[in-house]
């Protein structure tokens, strides 16, 4: 569609779609990159997982939950035994947790899912922002062996 002016010049009123396509491609790339980050939430690993170990210069604080539902906080030789009721208070009082806002959870695979969720909720209420799950590495499969079914 051309418009006529008094000076003899014509103006085109067509839409240039090239900038529109450029903007749409950039938005598509942004959404493709950010969508997996939004869906993650809490990082959960199965008791056996094929993953690289976390490398750290300092030893991190570990919360261990045994099969008998006993809760142990600390690493090394003298972890402290806690009940589920006092876990939140002890984590809030822990200077290391307040500074790092990070904790690693090591739970027995035979524990009911609901109990592990209760422990994780207490940890979150205590102000821990990053909760990592400690797993045992899966032994590598021999070549040609069929994949193991989930139990």
Euclidean distance between CA atoms 75 and 78, whole angstroms: 7
- Return the SS3 of 136: strand
pTM of the prediction? 0.55
pLDDT in tens, 105-131: 888 888 898 999 999 999 999 888 888
pLDDT in tens, 63-113: 888 888 888 887 666 778 888 889 889 988 888 888 888 888 888 888 898
Structure tokens at 114: 């609901």
Q: Which of these, 139, 140, 120, lies nearest to 130 by C-alpha position?
A: 120
| Secondary structure (DSSP) of 33-99 | HHHHHHHH-S----SEE--PPPP-SSPPPEEEE-TT--EEE-STT-PEEE-HHHHHHHHHH-HHHHH
Asked whether the CA dihedral 12, 14, 18, 20 is positive or negative, the reply is positive
- Per-residue confidence (pLDDT) for residue 40, from 0 to 100: 41
Percentage of residues of the chain with pLDDT beyond 70: 67
Compute the average pLDDT of residues 40-62: 54
| Structural domains in the chain, sorted by start | 48-137 (3.30.420.270)
pLDDT exceeds cutoff 80 at 5: no
């Amino acid at each position: 569609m051309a418009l006529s002016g008094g000076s003899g010049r014509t103006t085109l009123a067509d839409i240039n779609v090239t900038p529109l396509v450029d903007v749409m491609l950039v938005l598509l790339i942004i959404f493709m990159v950010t969508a997996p980050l939004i869906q993650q939430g809490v990082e959960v690993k199965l008791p056996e997982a094929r993953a690289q170990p976390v490398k750290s210069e300092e030893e991190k604080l570990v919360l261990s939950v045994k099969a008998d539902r006993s809760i142990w906080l600390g690493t090394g030789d003298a972890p402290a035994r806690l009940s589920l009721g006092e876990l939140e208070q002890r984590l809030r009082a822990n200077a290391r947790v307040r500074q790092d806002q990070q904790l690693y959870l090591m739970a027995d695979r035979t524990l009911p899912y609901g109990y592990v969720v209760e422990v994780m909720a207490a940890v979150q209420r205590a102000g821990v922002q990053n909760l990592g799950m400690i797993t045992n590495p899966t032994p590598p499969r021999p070549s040609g062996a069929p994949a193991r079914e989930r139990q």
